[in-house]
Amino acid sequence: MSTGHRRKTLVRLLVNGEEHTLAVPVQRTLLEALRYELGLTGSKQGCDKGDCGACTVLARPRDASGRGEPILSCITLAQDAQDLALTTIEGLAGPQGLDPIQRAFADCGALQCGFCQPGMMLSARALLDQCPRPTLPQIQEALSGNLCRCTGYTKIYEAVEVAAGLREPASRPPVSSERAAASDQVAHVPKEIAP
Amino acid sequence: MTHPVHRPGHVGARFPKVDGAGKADGSGVYADDIHLPRMLHAKILRSPHANARIRGIDVSEATRYPGVVATLVGAEMPAKYGVIPWTHDEQALATDHARFVGDEVACVAALDERTADEALRLIRVDYEPLPALLSVEDALAHPEIKVNERAKVGNVTKHVELEFGPVDDALARAAAVCHQVYEYAGSTHAPIEPHCAVARVDGDGNLTVWSSTQIPHYVQRELSRVLGLPQSKVRVIQPLLGGAFGGKSDPFSLEFCVAKLALKTGRPVKILFTREEVFYAHRGRHPMRMDVKVALDRDGRISAVDNKIQIDGGAYASFGLVTAYYAGQLLTGPYRFGTYRFDSTRVYTNKPPCGPKRGHGSVQPRFAFEVALDEAAEQLGIDPIEVRRRNFIGENVETVNGQRITSNGFLKCLDLVEAASAWTERHGKLGPGRGLGVAGSMYISGTAYPVYPNEMPQSGVLLKLDRSGRVTVYSGASDIGQGVNTLLCQICAEEMGCDPRDVTVVAADTDLTPVDLGAYSSRVTFMVGLAAREACEKLADKLRAAVAAKLGCAPADVRLELGTAAGPQGTMSFAEACQLAEAGEGATLAATGGYRTKKLGGDYRGGTIGASPAYSFTAHVAEVEVDEETGIWTVHKLWAAHDCGKALNPTLVEGQIEGSVYMGAAEAQMEEMIYDQNGLLFGPSLLDYRIPTSLDTPQIDAHIVESHDPNGPYGAKEAGEGPLHPAIPAIANALHDACGIRIRQLPFYPQRILRLLRERDARRGGSERVA
């Protein structure tokens, strides 16, 4: 049996503006290097084969500007990412706090379990960097590589539009209310709640 | 850009999730984010056979492999377990019988995951392959071949037969009967987070397991039993959970393996399932075959429903005993049934075990019934919405099978989706290839009984007030993304007037928190909400008394709101009120609350299964478009109105409705667990087992209806599972409106639609020739 995986190689990674030099097994994926070598556990492993998008990070050539394009870190070898400047979810917030995308996802209820969201938010950030006022079809296209199992995507679209300044978070009147007759087996009687 | 001004997060407010920022910035800790010093990584060897006797397992070579620290086989923890105490039929690792392709057989812990994976290949298992039973038909036809030795009769997990009223008489007198067979495909939860567990044993022999589970309490019980440790020595902690949907509500092999390996090695051990392994863990939607009769009298009232249900259970029982009941018991609303009979059989087969996927047991019969109801109404020329309205069961009534319904906002739900979809103007009039369909449903807000009989609370809360004004809620409830931790903060704000952001929730830790039975059967917010409210009321009384003494007024005149305590002649901060109360108490300010359901359910064997303190109701209208050349169809829009009793947080409720609708539509569109003739699951990956992307998901229009249930917290009922049910039959009924076909088999693959269109054309051509 091969034990070639124990051979390590030195890789240089530029992540969130910080330069790291790591000795990793040659087949170490970028996702594993981020999560297990650098402790950047915000990038998630959902499938480890490029199907779900939870491991999405942003990448650009080191000499370019901006944050770059979404890439799948689970199917990128760490040693192949040395020429890139990477942004993970931990690098998205700035000195002023959360990025508008992060704030909007939290405010709009676009986060349920939250597991797909780092990748989803980075894809959304890349979209808004390229296209500050996207249409709904553009949002759907840009996020189509990031699977979400909780939200039905509805509130994610809303969050992207809120982050782009295209709309306010939902404030629609919530409910159609009608009061039920009292039960004879009341366990706990609800109090009147002020609207 | 602008952000919403947060109103105080009282009950009913659109308050952002309290764990939202931690999830947004990547700092939230999920099970696989836990990394402990000296931690080992383990991998599980799985059976390549669907059914095989295990004559021997030799791990000696694997044990010697460099980097391997320990190996584990089933004989080291042979005790059987299962989430339901009556059906303990699983082993963490098989000792003598592997029952499906992917069944767990042995385990290796090593310094790193890859080494463990390599060492698995050195384990020699002596299998004697047996014939595999891969369908209900085969499993019933071959009782001499046992899929699971626990089955008393043949391969039957559970058989239930119940009749309420003279069904055959009603069928004989009916004005219209629809009698059809419906087939529901199996599907799986596919949470984006794979299962993961980490175990550690301290110097005193205390075991801690962090697991991506929905049921910390049951996992604690089963770990204790299987490992032979006192429950007091076993601590289970649920970290942030990356989606579950019922797929993490059984005890799983990996939890036992990490625990046993940690005990063996004295080192922390982690197992992270690969995506492929998540598919084998399964516990997803049961495939069901339903032979249904729905009878209407001449007024269009439902006079009889008769359902013979065959359930393909896979290799283990899981919640299957309950599934066999739910498949019948949960159909009896929102409509009044004159008479009702079901005959439900869950069968063991050599496939990954099925279990409770969102809408456990009742999504499949709901599909069959709602489509059959449409067909029967069509025979009488009654509009699909009208027939549902006419059969509305009402409020404060008992169903035909003895379930007590309190609040019921179903009519309002129907009204909303009828208006929103412009049903009256558009149903039947959208022209060829486009149509509308409607369906309704009912679901439980928790079950009246825990899975193991006991008289203790199903949910408890411990509440502590600090002199800083910080509130700490200790809750055993599992926040699996639905947002219960946020709702607990809102309940504190509602009752004590504190800022909800000054509330810390310590949750789902069996050492630190009171009991909660877990996140299943849509029980969480309902039960822990009531427990929390009770504890809050006790502390609010203490605060009011202390403030009243200081301000010289009556306790009833003290208002706790907006972070202050105010009397007629003075105001103080919430923190000051806490200090006064703590001084008065002479001890830490704390209170407990608990919830236990009163006795509910019909007075017959099984009558308590499906009994719930409150039922939610839903109506959907779907709009579809069909390309008749290809059979390719799309859902343009789904309007969903859900009676959740009271929306404690409308944003979270809408999220539950939208997520449910998405998941239901996905089952109609594309999802199916497919096996080859050897029982090998086809394509256990998120590429081959397709789940909808943003481009596949229909537009969803969610409406909240509040019926203010007398039993729920602030009137609330469930919202997490009910809204899934009508999506599938609404789509099927819309396909009928669009092109006159009745699809009775899931998923609604385009090739199936095309075949039905050709049959329709043949019928039409034939009738024209006859004419």
Q: What is the pLDDT of residue B431?
A: 82
Region of residue B306 (left: phi > 0; alpha: psi -120 to 50; beta: else): beta
Q: What is the pLDDT of residue B493?
A: 96
Distance separating alpha carbons of residues B358 and B718, to the nearest angstrom: 12
| Residues A106, A130 within the same domain | yes
For residue B384, CA distances in Å to B118, B335, B391, B439 come to 59, 13, 11, 8
For chain B, the first-to-last Cα distance in angstroms comes to: 68
Q: What average pLDDT score do residues B23-42 get?
A: 97
Tell whether the model's pLDDT for residue A195 goes beyond 80.
Answer: no
Distance separating alpha carbons of residues A41 and A46, to the nearest angstrom: 13
Distance separating alpha carbons of residues A147 and A169, to the nearest angstrom: 23
Residue with tokens 């679901």: B443
Chain A neighbors of B418, CB-CB under 8 A: none
| Residues A119, A148 within the same domain | yes
Q: What is the pLDDT of residue A106?
A: 93
Three-state SS at B582: helix
Torsion of CA B46, B47, B51, B52, to 10 degrees: -120
Mutate to test the interface with B, among A157, A178, A184 (most CBs of B within 10 A): A178
| Residues A86, A15 within the same domain | yes
Neighbouring-strand partners of residue B474: B462, B506
Q: What is the pLDDT of residue B87?
A: 96
Residue with tokens 């605060």: B543
Is B16 within 8 Å of chain A by CB?
yes
Q: What average pLDDT score do residues B31-47 get?
A: 98
Q: What is the pLDDT of residue B16?
A: 92
Tell whether the model's pLDDT for residue B3 goes beyond 60.
Answer: no
Mutate to test the interface with A, among B7, B15, B25, B210 (most CBs of A within 10 A): B25
| Residues A15, A77 within the same domain | yes
Distance separating alpha carbons of residues B516 and B519, to the nearest angstrom: 9
Count the helices and strands in chain A (H runs, E runs): 5, 6
Instruction: For chain B, give every residue range classified as CATH 3.30.365.10.
Output: 288-448+602-765, 459-595
Torsion of CA B29, B257, B99, B356, to 10 degrees: -30
Q: What average pLDDT score do residues B118-128 get?
A: 98
Q: What average pLDDT score do residues B96-120 get?
A: 97
Is B763 within 8 Å of chain A by CB?
no
Decide if B450 contacts B458 (C-beta within 8 A): yes
Nearest to B499 by CA among B11, B18, B4, B9: B9
Determine the residue of chain B that is closest to A54 in CA distance.
Answer: B192
Chain B neighbors of A187, CB-CB under 8 A: 530, 597-598, 613, 710-711
Distance separating alpha carbons of residues B293 and B387, to the nearest angstrom: 16
Neighbouring-strand partners of residue B745: B183
Distance separating alpha carbons of residues A145 and A143, to the nearest angstrom: 5
E strand map for A26-133: 56-61, 69-72, 84-87
Residue with tokens 């915000």: A42
Distance separating alpha carbons of residues B563 and B578, to the nearest angstrom: 11
Q: What is the pLDDT of residue A180?
A: 38
Distance separating alpha carbons of residues A28 and A30, to the nearest angstrom: 7
Instruction: Tell me chain A's radius of gyration from C-alpha atoms.
Output: 21
Tell whether the model's pLDDT for residue A179 goes beyond 80.
Answer: no
Tell whether the model's pLDDT for residue B119 goes beyond 50.
Answer: yes
Taken as a whole, chain A contains a residue count of 195
Expressed as residue numbers, the domain containing A136 is 100-163
| Residues A41, A84 within the same domain | yes
Chain mean pLDDT for chain B: 96
- DSSP state, residue B270: E
Tell whether the model's pLDDT for residue B576 goes beyond 50.
Answer: yes
Name the domain boundary from A55, A74, A91: A91
Is B270 within 8 Å of chain A by CB?
no
Tell whether the model's pLDDT for residue B628 goes beyond 60.
Answer: yes
Q: What is the pLDDT of residue B6?
A: 41
Q: Considering the domain delimited by B288-448+602-765, tell me its CATH architecture.
A: 2-Layer Sandwich (3.30)
Distance of CA B469 to the CA centre of its chain: 36
| Residues A17, A87 within the same domain | yes
pTM here is 0.96
Q: What's the total number of domains in chain A?
A: 2
| Residues A151, A107 within the same domain | yes
Interface predicted TM-score of the whole assembly (ipTM), two decimals: 0.95
Distance separating alpha carbons of residues B347 and B349, to the nearest angstrom: 6
Distance separating alpha carbons of residues B71 and A161, to the nearest angstrom: 52
Here the CATH number for the domain that contains residue A32 is: 3.10.20.30
| Residues A121, A144 within the same domain | yes
Fold observed for domain B459-595: Aldehyde Oxidoreductase; domain 4 (3.30.365)
pLDDT classification of A3: cutoffs 50, 70, 90: low
Residue with tokens 């991998």: B43
- The answer as to whether A174 is a domain residue is no
Nearest to B617 by CA among B656, B639, B655, B643: B643
Here the CATH number for the domain that contains residue A147 is: 1.10.150.120
Nearest to B59 by CA among B72, B76, B48, B49: B72
E strand map for B31-112: 40-46, 52-58, 68-73, 97-98, 104-110
pLDDT classification of B768: cutoffs 50, 70, 90: low
Q: What is the pLDDT of residue B448?
A: 85
Domain at B34-130+192-243+248-281: CATH code? 3.90.1170.50
Chain B neighbors of A4, CB-CB under 8 A: none
**A131-155 tens-digit pLDDT:** 999 999 999 999 999 999 999 999 9
Q: What is the pLDDT of residue B122?
A: 98
Report CA torsion sign: A107, A112, A118, A124: negative
Q: What is the pLDDT of residue A173?
A: 46
Name the domain boundary from A91, A119, A147: A91
Chain A nearest-CA distance from B647, in A, is: 8
Distance separating alpha carbons of residues A39 and B247, to the nearest angstrom: 28
| Interchain pair B1, A100: CB under 8 A | yes
| Residues A74, A105 within the same domain | no
pLDDT classification of A190: cutoffs 50, 70, 90: very low
| Residues A79, A118 within the same domain | no
Chain A nearest-CA distance from B399, in A, is: 15
Neighbouring-strand partners of residue B308: B291, B343
Q: What average pLDDT score do residues B454-480 get?
A: 96
Q: What is the pLDDT of residue B667?
A: 98
Q: What is the pLDDT of residue A171?
A: 58
pLDDT classification of A168: cutoffs 50, 70, 90: confident
pLDDT classification of B451: cutoffs 50, 70, 90: confident
pLDDT classification of A181: cutoffs 50, 70, 90: very low
Nearest to A148 by CA among A188, A105, A183: A105
Q: What is the pLDDT of residue B767?
A: 60
Tell whether the model's pLDDT for residue A187 goes beyond 50.
Answer: no
Determine the residue of chain B that is closest to A106 in CA distance.
Answer: B20
Q: b vs e for B450-487, b when ≥16 Cβ sit within 10 Å of the residue's Cβ?
A: bbeeeeebbbbbbbbbbeebebbbbbbbbbbbbbbbbb
Tell whether the model's pLDDT for residue B296 goes beyond 70.
Answer: yes
Chain mean pLDDT for chain A: 88
| Interchain pair B25, A92: CB under 8 A | yes
Tell whether the model's pLDDT for residue B277 goes beyond 50.
Answer: yes
| Interchain pair B194, A44: CB under 8 A | no
- The answer as to whether A180 is a domain residue is no
Is A18 within 8 Å of chain B by CB?
no
**A33-80 tens-digit pLDDT:** 999 999 999 999 999 999 999 999 999 999 999 999 999 999 999 999
pLDDT classification of B179: cutoffs 50, 70, 90: very high
Decide if B524 contacts B478 (C-beta within 8 A): yes
Q: What average pLDDT score do residues B283-306 get?
A: 98
| Residues A129, A108 within the same domain | yes
Chain A residues 58-87 within an 8 A CB cutoff of chain B: none
Longest dimension (CA), chain A: 73
- The answer as to whether A173 is a domain residue is no
Instruction: For chain B, give every residue range classified as CATH 3.90.1170.50.
Output: 34-130+192-243+248-281
> Quick one: tokens of B543?
């605060």
Is B244 within 8 Å of chain A by CB?
yes
E strand map for B568-612: 570-573, 589-595
Decide if B109 contacts B41 (C-beta within 8 A): yes
Chain B nearest-CA distance from A126, in A, is: 16
Chain B nearest-CA distance from A33, in A, is: 13
| Residues A86, A124 within the same domain | no
| Interchain pair A185, B243: CB under 8 A | no
